[in-house]
A and B are shown apart, each in its own frame.
Chain A
Amino acid sequence: MAMMRDMIPGFELFQPADIDDAVELLDRHGSDAWVLAGGLDSFDWFKDRIKRPKAVIELGAIGELTGIRETDDGGLEIGAMTSLADVAAHPAIRERFGLLADAAGLVATPQIRNQGTLGGNLCQDTRCWYYRSGWPCYRAGGNTCYAAAPQAMNREHCVLGASRCVAVNPADTAPAVVALDAKMVIRSRGGERVVDADDFFIGPAIDITRMTVLEPGDLLTSVRIPADWANATFYFEKVRDRVAWDFALVSVASALKVEGGTIRDVRLAVNGVAPYPMRLDMVEQAVVGQRQSEEVAANAGIMAIQRARPLRHNDYKVPLMRNLVRRALRETA
């Protein structure tokens, strides 16, 4: 079949009005269904004619998927269809969970943040250009990782957590929700289940064709931010080639509880280095109880990269990750 790009093939569009209908549609169409949120990932796939779902279930009409509300335990529940711009600007998020506001505010461009949703950002597919060029790689059901070949162009790819596939998770908000210990609320015909953000993202070792635990029939409906980390000391940084419209080369998100100069608790996640936002639990354990200092931060950075294994073109990601971890734990952070 000759290759054709930039022309969306036909599909059947469904615009359910509530979650139950959406879940029913997803169940009915199974793996032929495609969940369409802001469309910023989806339309790329559609116009390149690489993903050709039969049924597209567009969530824009489901009011209950949008909005931010306080939960009884003092946390927040953010509807999956809430725009990234709204997440970035929401007073309660900014005030108590600024980490997420910062991360959402650094996604792509203002236009994309208006159109893109939190759920879509978290569920988006990898941007590996081999995969997204429609090559028959592992992630596409084939038996090759072209990006890991000796001569491949892989400056944006993994240094950690690879398993045959070396693509990275591109989501800016992903390390933030992991650091905030967020809970992902998933609905399917079987009912509702809640998955820790840390477990929501999966690597190719577990399933090489998916980025998250979501399977056909599943719908991410909201993200719950527990009160545990409200008003902690946050740090988010995204390093990229351009100030706008760029995914992170490496990003870091941290939440710290510091008392009297001592780190009482910490959650730390890095993205852009692995196929999933990587929580650095070893580093967390190492720094808890330590006095916050340049030395502790520096050692944490070194510890973070211990198992890093760069590819041909991405050696730089190792010091970059080290330095970002260091910055995330620094006193001045």
Chain B
Amino acid sequence: MAEKTIGRDIVPPDLVAKITGRARYAEDFRAEGMVFAKMLLSPMPHARVRRIDASEALRMEGVLGVLTAEDVPEVSTPSEPILTMEPVYEGEPILAVAAVDEATAAEAVERIVVDLEPLPFALDPLLSLRPDGPDARLEGNIYHIDDDVREMRTHKWAAADFDGAPEGRLPMGEPAFDWSIGDVAAGLEQADGIVEETLIHQSLTHHPMEPRSCMAYWQNGKLHVHVSTQSAARCRASLAGMLDMDMEDLVVVAEFCGGGFGSKITAHPTMAMTALLSQKVGRPVMLRVTRYEENYIGRARPGFQAWAKMGFRSDGRMTGLDLYIVQDQGPYGRSGDAFTAATVASLTYQPEHMRFRGVSVFTNTPPRSAQRAPGGAQIIGMLEPLVDKAARELGMDRVAIRRLNAPASDGWVGPNKGSLTSAYPKEALDKAAEIFGWEERIARSGQTNGTRVTGIGVGLSPFVGGSTGFDGLLVIRPDGKLYVHQGIGNLGTHSIADTARAASDLLDLAWEDVVVVWGDSARHQPWSSVQAGSQTIHAHTRANHAAATQAKRKLQEIAARDLGGSPNAYEVGDGRIFQRSNPGRGMTLARAAERAIELGGAYDGHELDEDLHAMTRASATALAGTGLVSAAKDTYPHDGSTWSWVVGMAEVAIDTETGALEIMEFTGVADCGTVVHPRSLAAQIHGGCIQGFGIARSQKWVYDPKWGVPFAKRFYTARPPGILDVPLSPRWGALDIPDPQTPVGARGIGEPPVGAGSAAITSAVADALGGECLCRTPLTTDVILAAIEGTEKPYRPLETHV
């Protein structure tokens, strides 16, 4: 029998190309007659374009054309347009120029006169909520959604709501949305200890290494695009929607993606922009997005200005949690971060009573989208130091109080108290404490060595870990190999390979006999989940498992038909289908594939299941006759929602004379079901936690409030963490307890590490400062030193983007 691949390290099929530089990312492609595009970005945070005069640019030699808002489909407020005549953030694309080279395009942009009328702008949600505060958009400052209406509204609070603001207490006027479980007042009433804080969490640009460059050309009515996206099949679907065209006329090539973190989940307006510019000038167009541009158009995590009040019984059980979140929405859309934050808080602490209130306010800052653990990373990083504070007051161990409140598999989540597929955060805490050496390290909490004081921190971070109902598409070809067609993206997480293992293991194929087909929609993709929300390992081990189960059934039927006996008497192994009682009686999969083609019908893809998605159906139909074709939808039972967990534990040292923070040790332990790929899992835990370190200690936005213009717009000024900011040998572990409600047992892991990394640091810093929660991120050197020295803080109360 072939060795099972699940649970062991493999070499992913894209690895060699990546490390040798042979991998071609979007901007590496060239097409006959290709020209280059450059965008003109708004210099103002909010303005009306009165006039565009591109005549001088168009007269330049080598300039082919200009694409403006007039040339692109309109969208309805508050959706983001492809190009705009009313820019709502500094850096928003107003037009794009195509020219024979970038230097010419850049010069052409400089020669275009855009007459802009400045409009009022808002950078800080709280300022916009003031009675006389500015609105980020002409139509209002919130997008109201309820059962009956969806509309832009102006939402203002009373002046009296801001009475506590000068002291840094969050104003809490009329919320735009809320939910409750039980009676939070009663819950807090029952408490023996209360902690209450205003919390500030910064907005954060995603900063993937690869900007969202794009190349597009039209051939015989078909649009071909080379893009950087997280999700291949779903990107194709959403780009077709954006351009209002038939998906069949769209070829999306997305083989490699240099990171997305939620900023490239599906199609991006720049893809449509490039396609339309190509159409307009009649030439292939390459838009190489620069780092500077990526900062503006590359999406961001919504910041929170929040308030939390927690009540605990003397035994540490959380009796009540009252949460208010003011969300910085940016200029478009409606992010779910605040809702998810409340859901994550409910899951993590299982409060007996809980109330959540919030408002999501538009600002003239870059568009928001999901960022790796959207909402969850923010709330865990902010709330965990409060749990520490309660533990300190109650004289409890900080791991114990988390263990006590964390759910088991019978726990619940969210306003509807939904059930869980399984949950082992208590066990994860135990394992993390063991690997980290919590007992020994906690003894060093607050100890000083020279001018350095030690802090010990812990963060417990859940996030959704899977969806269901997608399709798998496999072909066993006459070469005897298994072709796993993937519609998911290749984000760098190895999902394209790791989800294929569900099929190869079930069919007992050696990994060398598996060909993963991915990235090019012309190569036939099944309908897939977005590669986001940590869905993929769960959704597509299921889908591929379903397809492999179907393939195995077809193999058994072919064998039985040719060799006699019942299909159930046949087994697959070592590249053959054979009789279980007489292993010599069988045929190779190569032969079975030939037979499938000869038999036709359902065996070679000419007949397909009814419940398949149209995209899968089209792909399978295109593959029909190439071998044993198996296309199946994931219909495995699934009750409750699927959540993964990561525990982060950190030891930090703070220099009390300089405020310098060093992370000395870190351990991350995951509860994410079955471990499919240990090395990749370690990379996810560490990478996510490091991203969390950046949130906690360095990464930020800075805006000049007078001009509404940002400064932290490249790597250096935005300060994501570098590898030297990470301890030399962070440790990791995983419970490897299969989730009972999914065939492979694996749950997603991309997201929960971020909150764990962030919270471990915010918790450790508070510990080093003797339990003082600064209750804002990032905890930069100046913030820490000002707290130690008691000098004026380097930020004003409630201030953001500082």
Contact = CB atoms under 8 A, between A and B. Distances in A.
Q: Do chains A and B touch in the complex (CB under 8 A)?
A: yes
Interface string B94-132: 000000001100110111111000000000000000000
Nearest to B660: A239
Interface stretch (B141-149, B521-529, B711-719): B711-719
A317 B786 CA distance: 9
B343 interface: no
A319 B290 contact: no
Nearest to B781: A241
Given A3-B41, A5-B290, A315-B792, A130 B704 contact: yes
A252 to B, nearest CB: 10
B27 interface: no
B38 interface: yes
Q: Which residue of A237, A239, A317, A327 has the most chain B CB atoms within 10 A of its CB atom?
A: A239
A109 B704 CA distance: 28
Contacts of A243: 662, 722, 724-725
Contact of B106 (A9, A130, A310): A9
B41 A246 contact: no
Contacts of B112: 2
B780 interface: yes
Interface of B: 38, 40-41, 43, 102-103, 106-107, 109-114, 290-293, 657-660, 662, 697-698, 702-707, 709, 711, 715-717, 719, 721-725, 780-782, 785-786, 789, 791-795, 802
A94 to B, nearest CB: 21
Given A244-B724, A249-B782, A324-B658, A313 B791 contact: no
B722 A245 contact: yes
Contacts of A34: none
A1 interface: yes
Nearest to B709: A133
A139 to B, nearest CB: 16
Contact of B722 (A109, A129, A130, A326): A109
A286 interface: no
Given A2-B114, A242-B722, A243-B722, A249 B781 contact: yes
Contacts of B293: 5-6
A113 B668 CA distance: 33
A323 B657 contact: yes
Given A2-B112, A315-B786, A316-B659, A7 B706 contact: no
A304 to B, nearest CB: 14
Given A314-B782, A316-B786, A6 B290 contact: yes
Contacts, number: 131
A111 to B, nearest CB: 11
A232 to B, nearest CB: 23
Contacts of B657: 323-324, 326-327
Contact of A320 (B292, B703, B704, B785): B785
A323 B660 CA distance: 12
A1 B110 CA distance: 5
Interface in A9-45: 9-10
A155 B111 contact: no
A142 B459 CA distance: 49
A249 B107 CA distance: 37
Given A242-B721, A243-B722, A153 B802 contact: yes
Nearest to B783: A316
Contact of A242 (B109, B706, B725): B725
Interface residues of A, number: 44
Nearest to A10: B103
A159 to B, nearest CB: 11
A240 B38 CA distance: 35
Interface stretch (A69-77, A144-152, A197-205, A262-270): A144-152
A316 B789 contact: yes
A88 interface: no
| 8 smallest beta-carbon distances between A and B, as pairs | A6-B290, A7-B106, A129-B711, A323-B657, A243-B724, A315-B792, A316-B782, A319-B789
B725 A151 contact: no
Interface string A150-167: 011101000000000000
Q: Which residue of B40, B43, B723, B781 has the most chain A CB atoms within 10 A of its CB atom?
A: B781
Nearest to A239: B658
Contacts of B722: 109, 242-245
15 contacts: A1-B111, A49-B110, A129-B702, A133-B711, A146-B704, A151-B705, A153-B704, A239-B781, A240-B781, A242-B722, A243-B725, A249-B782, A317-B782, A319-B785, A324-B658
A240 B702 CA distance: 17
A44 to B, nearest CB: 9
A255 B312 CA distance: 56
Contacts of A300: none
Contacts of B715: 245
A114 to B, nearest CB: 16
B106 A246 contact: no
A318 interface: yes
A310 B715 CA distance: 27
Contact of B103 (A7, A246, A317): A7
Interface of A: 1-7, 9-10, 48-49, 109, 129-130, 133, 146, 149, 151-153, 155, 237, 239-246, 249, 310, 313-320, 323-324, 326-327
A242 B782 contact: no
Given A241-B780, A320-B658, A4 B106 contact: yes
Contacts of A129: 702, 711, 717
Contact of B40 (A2, A153, A239): A2
Nearest to A314: B794
Given A49-B106, A243-B662, A314-B794, 10 more contacts: A2-B110, A4-B110, A129-B717, A153-B711, A239-B658, A239-B659, A242-B722, A244-B724, A249-B782, A317-B782
Nearest to B795: A313
Contacts of A240: 660, 781
A323 B658 contact: yes
Contacts of B698: 241-242
B730 to A, nearest CB: 15
B719 A241 contact: yes
A276 to B, nearest CB: 22
A2 B711 contact: no
Contacts of A146: 704, 706-707
A315 to B, nearest CB: 4
Contact of A246 (B292, B719, B786, B795): B719
A317 B702 CA distance: 18
Contacts of A155: 782, 794, 802
Nearest to A109: B722
A109 B40 CA distance: 33
A324 B660 CA distance: 12
Contacts of A2: 40, 43, 109-114
B204 to A, nearest CB: 15
A130 B41 CA distance: 18
Contact of A4 (B109, B114, B662, B703): B109
A239 B660 CA distance: 7
A109 B725 CA distance: 12
Nearest to A313: B794
Nearest to B787: A316
Contact of B102 (A7, A151, A249): A7
B292 A315 contact: no
B791 A315 contact: yes
A152 B109 contact: no
Contact of B659 (A149, A320, A327): A320
A133 B102 CA distance: 21
A7 B36 CA distance: 12
Contacts of B709: 133
B791 A318 contact: yes
Nearest to A323: B657
A313 B719 contact: no
Given A153-B702, A244-B724, A6 B291 contact: yes
Contacts of A326: 657
A5 B102 CA distance: 12
Contacts of B662: 243
Contacts of B114: 2
